[in-house]
Amino acid sequence: MRPVCRFPGAKVTRMCGIIGYVGPRAAQEVVVSGLRRMEYRGYDSAGVAVVVDGVIEYRKKAGKITNLDAEIVANPMPEATIGIGHTRWATHGGPTDYNAHPHVSDNGRIALIHNGIIENFAGLRAELQAGGVSFRSETDSEVAAQLLGREVAQGTDLADALRAVVNRLKGAFTLVAMDAQEPERLVAARRNSPLVVGVGEGENFVASDVAAFIEFTRNAIELGQDQLVDVTPTSITVTDFAGNPAESHPFEVTWDLSAAEKSGYDWFMRKEIYEQPQAVADTLLGRFNEDGSLKLDELHIPEAELRSIDKIIIVACGTAYYAGMVAKYAIEHWTRIACEVEIASEFRYRDPIITRTTLVVTLSQSGETADTLMAIRHAREQHAKVIAICNTNGATIPRESDAVIYTHAGPEIGVASTKGFLTQVAACYLLGLYLAQVREAKYGDEIAAIMAELASTPPLIQRVLDGLEPIKQLAAKYINQQSVLFLGRHVGYPVALEGALKLKEIAYLHAEGFPAGELKHGPIALVDEGIPVFVVVPPQGRDQLHDKVISNIQEVRARGAFTIVLAEEDDEEVTPYADVIFRLPKVSTLMQPLVATVPLQMFACELASLKGYDVDQPRNLAKSVTVE
């Protein structure tokens, strides 16, 4: 079931855990316990800061919270009634002690924590350094701390100072800060990143997720976009970034602590399905230069070398392999470079033809997949350039590649990948468009138009999510079904494969995906009376394939299949041949996988849940396969 309240914790930018506390309790204990309740998010460092006698005391360590605990035991912190804490998922700068949050300003006045990505941090950092500010980390986040420290040093009120800072920042952020000279006050701001206020009696909280404070209160306030909150033990003041009073949305958390980690969802997988609009948006964030050209900050391969590429090989496993199959259509279409897609476990054993002008692209959510890692090493031995598309900063695969594009989806906890698939497709599209730009295979306005459509998909994915009730009802109909088939053409074929894989992984059903045009070459023999057949219908703009898939629907229906059709919202040609129609937003062919995959994910999740299976931890499977 979806949660009763839709609050910021249900959607994330970079999956950092944030908590701030002000009140009579021991702040360090409140903050660290809140961080523990957000461990499910995944992180690579943790830290806490408090204010005592006009001084900021802080401890932070790379690794798990147990490392932070050990640091605090070795170097105890004085008792305090105000504190902030953070678990970091590294993006800018590796997972080190110095890069961990909180960050303290050069003048010692400000401690600050940050969730998100500050796109214009490089210019701001250079400005601060020119003014004599010394930086201790590689992060984008420290820029905000140093800017805020400079503002308060000039006598600006803390809330006004934070407004001045956020109005200079570009990107996505939640910022929480405290001033050593104001030991009963927190200020926080949000843009495109979660922030919620916990309302207590004589105490208040700010956090990225209500899980952080649900032990102490179920009363909360959801902040809107571009809002700032000023918090003391007895007051909460919400304004916009201009300082005007702003409307906020109080709510009561209706679920208990055990559900808090999942933000009210029954399964992490279901939660991650609903996080996909934000995950795709975050993957696309900050990808343009000021001149409007596409940029990939993590892609440090000279353009001359990219122009010499004459073959691309995408290497991946499982769901990532299907994302690569989708990407092949787009990359070949946009770049006119031949593109192959290989299963990583087979790649190096078939003696592939790789040269210095071959580009190998690897897809791995964890960045630790053993088969993919060995494929990288083989490709580099053959002097090919390797680009990793990965969700985990500092993982082995990005480290051993020539370049990396991070998806910024946040950790996936459910074993069956969902947002990993969509963000990998989006990242592959970014790579394809960038190659087209570098090689001048497309004009700048053509690339901008495609990027604009890609950037428009997150709200369309949300629209699909908002209309999933019929898919859930359909799952109840097939709780005892033994076999399900999926059909698609063009990019719809890998979507069909991914839909089948999800049923295999978590519902333990026989499920197969086929190219619809291959039906008469064998698979149609599997069609029996009443068997459910999902069909992904291409957009009507591709008239030839659209009409052929309608013929395929007629073929299976004539043999007794129950046809479940995913088609555009205004496609009435499919209506006579579909037993159930699930309508998709109208998009171009290459964008359709970003909306068409979502109902298939939810069907599998709902069916497995109804069958009483552990959706997040399916039998025999692990999240990251680290052995060959």
d(CA 425, CA 461): 14
Q: How many residues in total does the chain contain? A: 628
Give me the helices (H) in 285-369, please.
Answer: 303-307, 318-335, 344-347
Out of 5, 16, 339, 390, pick the active-site residue.
16
d(CA 102, CA 420): 29
Beta strands in 125-224 (DSSP E): 171-179, 186-191, 196-199, 204-207, 219-222
Say how many CA atoms lie within 13 Å of 517 toward its Cβ: 10
385-390 and 403-406 strand pairing = parallel
The one-letter code for the residue type at 21 is Y
Residue with tokens 């209309």: 467
d(CA 582, CA 313): 34
Number of CB atoms found within 10 A of residue 80's CB: 21
Instruction: Give 55's strand partners.
Output: 52
171-179 and 110-118 strand pairing = antiparallel
Q: What share of the chain is helix, strand, coil (3-state, %, to 5)?
A: 40, 25, 40
Out of 64, 586, 611, 623, pick the active-site residue.
623
d(CA 460, CA 453): 11
What is the full DSSP assignment across 140-155? SHHHHHHHHHHHHHTT
d(CA 49, CA 27): 9
**Packing angle, helices 419-438 and 592-610, rounded to 10:** 170
Q: Which helix or strand (DSSP H or E) is residue 360 part of? A: strand 358-364
Say how many CA atoms lie within 13 Å of 412 toward its Cβ: 33
The one-letter code for the residue type at 341 is V
Nearest to 62 by CA among 76, 89, 44: 44
**Packing angle, helices 592-610 and 492-502, rounded to 10:** 20
Cβ(112)–Cβ(161) below 8 Å:
no
Catalytic annotation present for 623: yes
Secondary structure of 453-518 in HEC code, one letter for each residue: HHHCHHHHHHHHHHCCHHHHHHHHHCCCCCEEEEEECCCHHHHHHHHHHHHHHHHCCEEEEEEHHH
Cβ(175)–Cβ(114) below 8 Å:
yes
Cβ(323)–Cβ(316) below 8 Å:
yes
Nearest to 404 by CA among 327, 494, 300, 325: 300
Contacts (Cβ under 8 Å, ≥6 apart) of 347? 313, 315, 371, 375, 378
Strand order in the sheet with 17-22: 55-62, 45-52, 82-88, 17-22, 204-207, 196-199, 219-222, 249-252
Residue with tokens 């992984």: 505
Q: Which residues are catalytic?
A: 16, 623
